[in-house]
Chains A and B, each alone.
Chain A
Amino acid sequence: MRFLPLLVVLGIGTFLYVGLSHDPSVIPSPLIDKPAPVFSAERLVAVDEPAAPFDSETMDGSVWLLNVWASWCGPCIQEHPQLIAFAAERDVPLVGLNYKDQPADARAWLARHGDPFDTVISDVGGDVGLDFGVYGVPETFVIDAEGRVRYKHVGPLDRRALDELLLPAVDALTGVPATGAAS
C-alpha cells in the first residue's frame, strides 16, 4: 500500500505516454487482413491511346502496392522519390490510384515528376477510393497474393517509413530478404 501513489503515477504516465504519442490523424484501417475491395476502372492512358479497363482481380497471385495520389496533392510530391526508389529496388507491381483528378493534370504531373507506376487507375469520381476507405491523399496499401490488404500507410512515405515499415511489410510477403540498397 505504501507504493500505491507511485503505482498510480506510473499508471497514468504510461497511459499518457501511449495516448499522446499516438497520431490521431492516422486511423487504423478496418481492411487490414481482409479482402481488398474488388474493382474495375479505367486506366490512365496517353491521349492517343485507346481506353483500357483495369480489373483488380488480374492482380490475384501477386503481391502488389496500391498508391493513392493526385496531382493536386502537395505531400505526394514529397513522397514521389520514395515511390521511384521502391520501383527501382523491388520487383513488385506498383499501381497508382489517381484519386479525384483530371487525367490531363495527372499525365502532366507524371511527366514532370517521373512515373514509377506499372499501371495508373483513373478514379475521377473517387469511387474506388471510397471503397478502400481513403480519407486523405496519399495513402498506400500493400495487398498480398490472396488479395488481402496486409498493410496501410497513411500520409506521405518518407525514406524512413519506406525502409522501416513498407519494405519490411512487402518483403515479408514476397519472401525476398532485404537487399543492401534498402539500408
Chain B
Amino acid sequence: MTARVPAPAFAWRTGPLLALALVLALVPWHAVPAAEPLVSFETDAQRERYDRLLEEYRCLKCQNQDLAGSNAALAGDLRREIRTRIIEGADDQVIDEYLVARYGDFVRYKPRFGGINLVLWLGPFVLLAIGLGAGWTMARRGRREEGAGHPAAAREVDESALNEARRLLDGR
C-alpha cells in the first residue's frame, strides 16, 4: 500500500508554457496581413485605391473576409486582377463591373443601393415602422377601453343567475 505516485518530471515546464500560450493569445493575429509578396505601385494614390478596393470586395471562398484579409488562392487572383487594372488606369466603375460580371452582386461587401437590394436596405425600417404602428394602435385601444370602464362591468347580468349565486354564498 505504499504505491507512491512519482512527481511528473516535466511539471516545472507547464508554468512557462502557459505563460507563453497566454502571451501568444494576446497577439492580434487577425491584424497580421495575409501573406502576399509586396505589391508595388508608381504612386501613393494608386496604392491607396488598391487598399481601399480590397476592403470593398468579398473573397467568395471564405465569405466573411474581404480581399485584403483572405489567404485563399482566389483572393490572391482577384487582388492581382485589381492591381493590374489600377496600373492600367481603369476607374473604380470598370473594376466593379469586372468583378460583378463574374461573381455577381455578392462580391460587393456593401450591397448596391437599388433594385432588389432596396428590400435589404429599407426592409428593417419598414419592419420597425410596422412594429411601432402596431404598438401605438394597441396602446391607444387600451387607453380608450380604460376610459369606458371595464367591459365586463357593463354587461347585463341574468337576474336568476344572480339569485342562484346569492343562494350558494349564503349557505341557504
Residues of A within 8 A of B (CB): 4, 24-25, 27-31, 100, 126, 130-133, 135-136
The reply to whether A133 and B103 contact each other, CB–CB distance below 8 Å, is: yes
Which of A4, A31, A132, A135 sits near B74, CB closer than 8 Å? A135
B61 interface neighbour in A30, A126, A130, A135, Cβ under 8 Å: A135
Q: Is the CB of B104 within 8 A of A28?
A: yes
Q: How far is the CB of B99 from chain A (nearest CB, A)?
A: 9
Main secondary structure of the interface of B (DSSP, over half): helix
Closest B residue, CB atoms, query A32: B104
B: contact size bracket: 10 to 19
**Known contacts A100-B73, A126-B77; A135/B101 CB under 8 A:** no
Tell me which residues across on chain A come within 8 A of B61, comparing CB atoms.
135-136
* Sampled A-B contacts (20; CB under 8 Å): A4-B134, A27-B103, A27-B104, A27-B106, A28-B104, A28-B106, A29-B104, A30-B103, A30-B104, A126-B73, A126-B77, A130-B78, A130-B102, A131-B102, A132-B102, A133-B102, A135-B60, A135-B61, A135-B74, A135-B103
Binary interface profile of B, 88-106, with partner A (CB < 8 Å = 1, else 0)?
0000000000001111111
Task: Judge whether B81 is part of the interface by a CB distance below 8 angstroms.
Answer: yes
In contact, A130 and B77 (Cβ under 8 angstroms) = yes
